[in-house]
Amino acid sequence: MNDRIQEKKTVLKGKFEDVISENEHFYVVHKLDKICTLPYTISDNGLLQQIGVIKEIDPLKEKENYVLINGYINQDDPTNLVCANRLLFEIIGSNVGNAGEWMYLGQVNNTLSSNGIKIYCVNLTGVDINQSEEALESKTASKFEMVEANKVIVSDDALFLAAYMRLFNYFYVNSLKE
| Digit-coded pLDDT (tens) for 19-30 | 888 888 887 777
Number of domains composing the chain: 2
Whole-structure pTM value:
0.79
| Short-list 12, 16, 116, CA closest to 71 | 16
124 C-beta neighbours (distance < 10 Å), count: 21
Q: Strand (E) positions, 34-143?
A: 34-42, 48-58, 63-67, 69-72, 102-108, 117-123
Q: How confident is the model at residue 80 (pLDDT cuts 50, 70, 90)?
A: very high
Q: What is the mean pLDDT of residues 71-77?
A: 89
Note whether 13 and 82 are same-domain residues. no
Q: 28 and 13 in contact (C-beta within 8 Å)? A: no
| Average pLDDT of the segment spanning 71-94 | 91
Full residue range of the structural domain in which residue 11 is found: 1-31
Asked if residue 130 and residue 47 are part of one domain, the reply reads: yes
Whether residues 21 and 67 share a domain: the answer is: no
Does residue 1 have a pLDDT over 50?
no
